[in-house]
Structure 1
């Protein structure tokens, strides 16, 4: 009996060399999961793929030179479904994978290349691997849970990680089902087993009601540093950016330098402020993506909404000193009154440390009555008074005035302004961050919608940019992958459409 499978046409050996694969990249593999695949992620180079299933298992695949994908390891990572996966930067941590489960556990998995395939991520004797770091919000684990997390029974629902190439520190953001966002930083450079809390605050005014459908997503700015327009406006070069989708609202946060009390000493640290708020979604925001490649001078953020639209927003930093508390004037105004593109006007971490020392010295020479007056006057109007007396003879005093005053204000008005939300007390950290124009160290941001992409009026679940920020991909209930490109006028238009079709083989 003849086979029913059609024979492929003959191929001339001269026209196609044997060493050249016909399809160099093909992700047509049998993932092997016994349940629905919930999460999937690729590494920086695109040659490693990790999949997470509803049954709590993670499978890692490697792409070989012949273009085929072969399984590297599989293990039980969580007691519930795997919600999110992320490979850490391959240039720093080529073998580290982060995962988050529906039970609330966040875990880091490190590969042992010397182990046999199938046992590389499993450090124990069973199929359940042993992570190098894990934590959850309801209990302390490995010295990583914050003091305020033990009183909350909410679980983590989203996470994001980023690495600073200059400081060699890794930052971790964890978002709970109650809308509480916690940002961690590694205590030692390139050490992933110990973290310290940077900031903790709420992203929604009140927690969702019991039984209410929720949607939370957090993502770091993937760019090494802010765009040049933001640097001109006064954003420090080492500032962190966070985009948070909480229910039907998207909020953008930036970090600023403040001073906090630790063991009786005032030490500089970073805290996040609300830079922009995006409204207008008529449903839950399921996913959010921050576009890489901000050399264009502005940032782009895409959202996937339950109302059937994928939206693209443009994030700008206007050069308006009245709306940014003097930040724009401090970094762009020179002696001739024109804007400056010089690198000396940028606020680097070294410059911030020097300004902090000068602020502490000037505060130490101030009288107690001056400190009391600053406390009563508030941080908005009293921050510019102490420091300019020492720099009125300098031509660039407007550049040195802004950040020392912000640090001095944090020292002088802890109970009234910056330090009340920077970590002195547990209750202050949990308050909702609101937009406060004119606060020291903040820079005004504006967000506007540039494209609204229809997905056949079906809910959109996933959205993401490519590594250059030139292609936007969305997926939804229609089972299609839609790709968009940016047009010369700045809007986005559909460029391609892909879909998966299940075919049934005919019976012989």
Structure 2
């Protein structure tokens, strides 16, 4: 069987040992490995990032160190090795998100901080911070090798989530905001906060989600804000700007797992390996439990579809630079033109009928009938009216926070607001009103979740959870100083398999 990716530059038959003196002058707060596991980046409270390389003899040697932030480094993430040059992203407690690019030709100590966008040293390839007073506290990045698009999600302490998109890997500074909304109410002043965001690490949605209607290029996000956990999916909406239809991404609420938690949610993780037909999500909660959830998309067996690629692999790559077809835009343009023509004809018919009625008599009635016939023939039936409303609804952006009465109505009966109203709603400063809710609009797919396991191995507040690259092992850490590993049992539940205790030991000088 052929390898799924390029081979690792280091031998795989050697045992993995990470026993190094990191050299930081303060506590190490973040650590991240690259795709192959042969590069390690550490971030400390002193604001410095150090990169280590694993050599063929199994030893780890320092590659580069630089001051990345003015305060502690909260999170680190390596971008896929398919992107050149090597990139590592960091987030500091001051709220700055920074992207560092490696220059292999530079001298040691200047490889990451020297290849900046200006002649000055220590400048990142890209950086950004929140436009409000609330700093960023979590981020996640995802790169698609097929579309060459890189997406960045940033979560601030006021509960606002911002998603950026870059479709030019050669230009690292070009990130465009594609969506911005609130995931929870703004915390009170002085209240302890907890925020975390993670992308779906799988290249594509699982096959059952594709069968249920999720497009092949849809993005998935799991977000933890305070004591809430929510899953968002992206869909394509067609908007009209200056008479030109355009397609853009918009995220909708797919699942809400908040009812299962009784405290602040410190961490979330989305498991790789969705070939199983459903997704697995884990959370770390302050109430002492690490929870594992199963996320699936129910579908109708009698929907007339099959498991063939022609029915499953549906894409809507109509974004600028995505390289996809423009059939959706053309269809939306035709629908908009038809709606405009029908509106003009109806207005003309109304004016003609009013004039004929003013004339009076049989001639007036004949003129009114002729005007109605010329406007569109016989009056449309209820089915035709509903179909027209549904078609028009797909060509406009919808307000995310529908009222309770609108939520109970079928999608075809909901009032479709105009594009201008939706744009004003998205740019509104009212965070409560900008929270995304399930509305059943075109392109939204209902998700279902259930709790598989509630793990209490730590019996103390759980701080972090994460899966391995195959999604078969779940690791969790808590206040007890132990790393507990869990595996899935044949009945679908998760159970403790092993643990690693952390103890202090005196190390000999090299």
Q: Which TM-score applies when normalising by structure 1?
A: 0.79
**Measured at CA, do residues 410 and 437 of structure 1 come closer, stay the same or move farther in structure 2, by a change above 3 Å?**
closer
Residue 307 of structure 2: which of 335, 341, 351 is its match?
341
The 5-angstrom pairing of residues 4-43 of structure 1 reads 24-43=15-34
The size of the alignment, in residue pairs, is 437
Match of 2:122 in 1: 129
Q: Distance in 1 between matches of 2:425 and 2:461?
A: 43
- Give the 3 Å change call, closer, same or farther, for CA 75–367 of structure 1 in structure 2: closer
C-alpha separation between the residues in 1 aligned to 2:339 and 2:392?
14
Q: Mark the CA change 1:21 to 1:427 in structure 2 (over 3 Å): closer, same or farther.
A: closer
Q: Deviation of residue 92 (structure 1)?
A: 2.1
What secondary structure is seen at the aligned counterpart in 2 of 1:253?
strand
State the Cα distance separating 1:441 from its structure 2 match: 1.0
The separation in 1 between residues aligned to 2:474 and 2:487, in whole angstroms, is 6
Tell me which of 208, 213, 238 is aligned to 1:229: 208
1:120-177 deviation per Cα after TM superposition (whole angstroms, max 9, x unaligned) = 1121899972100001013xxxxxxxxxxxxx21111100000122211110101100
| Cα distance in 2 between the residues matched to 1:127 and 1:79 | 17
1:162-219: per-residue Cα shift (whole Å, max 9, x none)?
0122211110101100000000011535532111110000001x21111100000001
Report the equivalent of 2:494.
492
Partners of 2:205 and 2:216 within 8 A in 1: yes
TM-score, structure 2 as length reference? 0.79
Match of 1:501 in 2: 503
Pick which of 253-262 and 70-79 moved more.
Answer: 253-262
Question: What is the aligned-residue RMSD (CA, Å)?
Answer: 3.1
CA contact (8 A) 2:50 2:66 kept: yes
Write the distance in 1 (CA, Å) between the matches of 2:455 and 2:344.
54
Which structure 2 residues correspond to residues 329-368 of structure 1 after superposition, within 5 A? 333-334=303-304, 339-346=305-312, 347-349=314-316, 353-367=326-340
**Unpaired runs of 5+ in structure 1?**
1-19, 139-151, 321-328, 374-380, 388-401
Contact 1:60 1:73 in 2 (8 A): yes
The 1-side partners of 2:200 and 2:238 are apart by 24
Instruction: Identify if the C-alpha distance between structure 1 residues 480 and 258 changes in structure 2 by more than 3 Å, giving closer, same or farther.
Output: same
Moved more, 452-461 or 306-315: 452-461
Q: Deviations over 1:275-311 (max 9, x none)?
A: 0000221111101000001000000100011111100
Look up the match of 2:354.
Answer: none
User: Does the 8 Å contact 1:76/1:128 carry over to 2?
Assistant: no
- Structure 1 residue 457: deviation in Å? 1.4
Instruction: Indicate the structure (1 or 2) with the bigger Cα radius of gyration.
Output: 2
Counterparts in 2 of 1:90 and 1:201: CA distance versus 1, 3 Å: same
Deviation at 1:421, TM superposition (A): 4.2
Residue by residue, what CA displacement relative to the aligned partner does 1:365-410 show, whole Å, maximum 9, x if unpaired? 234665999xxxxxxx9996139xxxxxxxxxxxxxx8x6653354
Q: Select between 288-297 and 119-128 the one with higher mean Cα deviation.
A: 119-128
Tell me, yes or no, if the aligned pair for 1:57 and 1:76 is still in contact at 8 Å.
yes
Give 5+ residue unaligned stretches, structure 2: 1-10, 318-323, 347-382, 400-413
Aligned-partner Cα distance in 2 for 1:188–1:181: 23
Tell me the CA shift for residue 415 of structure 1. 7.0
Hey, what's the Cα distance between the residues in 1 that align with 2:280 and 2:343? Answer: 44
Q: Which of the residues 296, 307, 329 maps onto 1:316?
A: 296
